[in-house]
Structure 1
Amino acid sequence: MANASRPARLPRSARIAAGVAAVFIAIHVFFTAVYNTPYDHIRNDVLPGAAASGYINPYLQQDYRIFAPNPANSDRNLWLRAWVETPDGERVTTKWVDATSIELAEPARRVLRKQLSIQAALRLMSTYFDMSTAQREVAEQNFHEDEDLTPLQDALIEADDSLDSEARAFIRASNFATSYATQAAKALWSDDGEVIAVQTRSVSTPIIRWDERFEDEPEELSSSYTAMGWRPVMEWSGQSTEGFSASFLKWAEKAGVSGSLTDDEEQPGDTVESDDTDSTGGGTGGDEE
């Protein structure tokens, strides 16, 4: 009986490509699993959490809360403003700017991945409300005179050391939001003077509930936001301030947002129940208006 024909052997190049693909998939699955580990101390102390975060953020981060049983039920936008010292020495608190609306003014960006400002707003909101009341009161204070947020982190842990992992998660989210706000503020107002501090706010605006979508006057739900003080400007190596500025200003023009320091545009406090953050702005970091 004739021997059964043996299957043709794959070319060496195909075997190498398959091996590389398998290794990449294994690394991707591993880092995704580490990133989604629910326990912060395990993710960062036992597993390579920092490496996983660097791999996932910002381009591979996803939000799967689209379908039942727990669909996303609100819009979260990142608002920001800056403290600018003009050439004549005057220090001006700028208007609040909705960075998310600016990013989404570019039609193509509405159908692509989740925008950086939305990611920042989501992370800021969730980590802020994971902290205790005492820690949130600390977050409302100004910490803008240092180079980074280490003093803020120390103060948060001192306020409630039982939630130290939540405090560190909030600091990571604040680093992200503050770094983004620094780039946006410099794009909008660097021509008017030196940006010396920034303030961010994640604003959550509930959407109309599904079962009320056909009502003439659906229940109007109040927005919520993170009350946070002033933070230092934060820049990192590898950033392209000029490239970011060119893109952001193009989107701002489409959104109808000017680069003026102050005006009568809608403020995030106008859409929420209260605006207590401004009252925390005493001393050198507060409103000078």
Structure 2
Amino acid sequence: MEPQEASGGSGSDGAGGGQAPGKPAAVPTLPPAPNGSWPLPSRIVIAATIGVLTIGVTLHLLLVFLFVAPPNAISKEYNGLIRGYVDPEFDQNWRLFAPNPLQSNIAVHARAEVAFPDGSRRTTGWLALTAQDLREIRHNPVPSHAHQNLLRQAWDFYNRTHDVKGRAMGLRGELAEAYVRRIAAHRLGPVIDGGQVVKVQIYASYTPIIPPRWSSDRGSTKKTYQVLPWWPVSEKEFP
């Protein structure tokens, strides 16, 4: 009687007899899924957003490419549009590959003149802008683009658009001044110790990189400074 008991079907699955031995249980058929998991308005918004982002990224890459590419008919025809978009936030330079790359460490500093409600004014100490960026970069596996390049590119842009006497060379020089001034104003803030920031001043120190011992180059190791005049600032300079 034991073989019959072992081979008998289980009646727990309901009336009508058990499942044949060795065959898997039948999988119930699910109803077909509706077309699309998002409603139509949401799909339209998502498609429109993707389209706008695609167009924006394409135009950005195209304008930057035309800016850095050798002069051609298209870049000459639309020079004003290209430079108006690239300068100053997306300004490019390839000094790393130039015959004379940068050979000094540049540190930019800023200070402010603060006006108080009682009519008095006070000059703050120097704020090390470059040191701020270095603190954010060191030991950071993914430092931001702003901490790596914003101040450095702005200072390089300023020097490339000013003569040896510090005079702006055309509209790009004036734009560079506004760019550097606004960065300093942002870092210092609109209010210090209860007073309103009304002027900013910037200076940079240049420390030559000492050549290696095996090099025959024995350039100057003297630190030099570049001090800019006081610039007035208004509320529009601050975020």
TM range (shorter): 0.5 to 0.7
CA distance in 2, matches of 1:235, 1:91: 17
For 2:231, what is the secondary structure of its paired residue?
Answer: coil
* Change in CA separation of 1:174 and 1:126 when aligned onto 2, cut-off 3 Å: same
| Aligned counterparts of 1:77 and 1:67: Cα–Cα separation in 2 | 22
Corresponding residue of 2:123: 93
Which amino acid letter does the alignment assign opposite residue 101 of structure 1?
Answer: A
1:175 aligns with 2:153: no
1:190 aligns with: 192
Shift of residue 219, structure 1, vs aligned partner: 6.0
- Give the letter for the 2:229 counterpart: G
Q: Percent identity?
A: 24
Question: 1:115-194 alignment to 2 at 5 Å?
Answer: 115-128=149-162, 131=163, 133=165, 136=166, 166-186=169-189, 190-194=192-196
Q: Distance in 1 between matches of 2:112 and 2:123?
A: 6
CA contact (8 A) 1:179 1:235 kept: no
Q: 1:226 aligns to what SS in structure 2?
A: strand
Q: The residue matched to 1:221 in structure 2 has which SS?
A: coil
Alpha-carbon distance between aligned partners in 1 of 2:142 and 2:57, rounded to the nearest angstrom: 29
TM-superposed deviation, 1:103:
1.8
1:21-45: CA deviation from partner (whole Å, max 9, x where unpaired): 699546523333236778xxx9798
- Match status 1:53 vs 2:53: no
Offset at 1:111? 4.8
TM-score (normalised: structure 1): 0.49
TM-score of the pair, normalised by structure 2: 0.58
Rg larger in 1 or in 2? 2
Question: Given that residues 103 and 115 in structure 1 are in contact (C-alpha distance below 8 angstroms), is that contact kept between their aligned partners in structure 2?
Answer: no
In the TM superposition, residue 64 of structure 1 has moved relative to its aligned partner by: 3.7
**Count of paired positions:** 180
Q: Using CA pairs below 8 Å that are at least 6 residues apart, which structure has the higher relative contact order?
A: 1
What RMSD, in angstroms, separates the aligned Cα atoms of the two structures? 3.8
Structure 2 alignment gaps of length 5 or more: 1-49
- What CA distance in whole angstroms lies between the structure 2 residues aligned with 1:184 and 1:92? 18
| Letter of the structure 2 residue corresponding to residue 230 of structure 1 | W
CA contact (8 A) 1:37 1:43 kept: no
Within 5 A, what are the aligned runs for 1:1-289?
24-25=57-58, 28-34=61-67, 46-53=79-86, 57-58=88-89, 60-66=90-96, 69-106=99-136, 107=138, 108=140, 111-113=143-145, 114-128=148-162, 131=163, 133=165, 136=166, 166-186=169-189, 190-209=192-211, 212-213=212-213, 221-234=221-234, 236=236, 241=239
In the superposition, relative to structure 1, how do residues 112 and 207 fare at CA in structure 2: closer, same or farther (>3 Å)?
farther
CA deviation profile, 1:87-144 (whole Å, cap 9, x unmatched): 433211111222111122123288543332222222223323xx254xx3xx5xxxxx
Correspondence for 1:11: none
Aligned equivalents of 2:194 and 2:117: distance in 1? Answer: 8
Query: What SS class does the counterpart of residue 160 from structure 2 fall into?
Result: helix
Distance 1:49 1:61, change over 3 A: closer
Distance 2:94 2:193 in 1: 40
Unpaired segments of 5 or more residues in structure 1? Answer: 1-16, 140-155, 157-165, 242-289
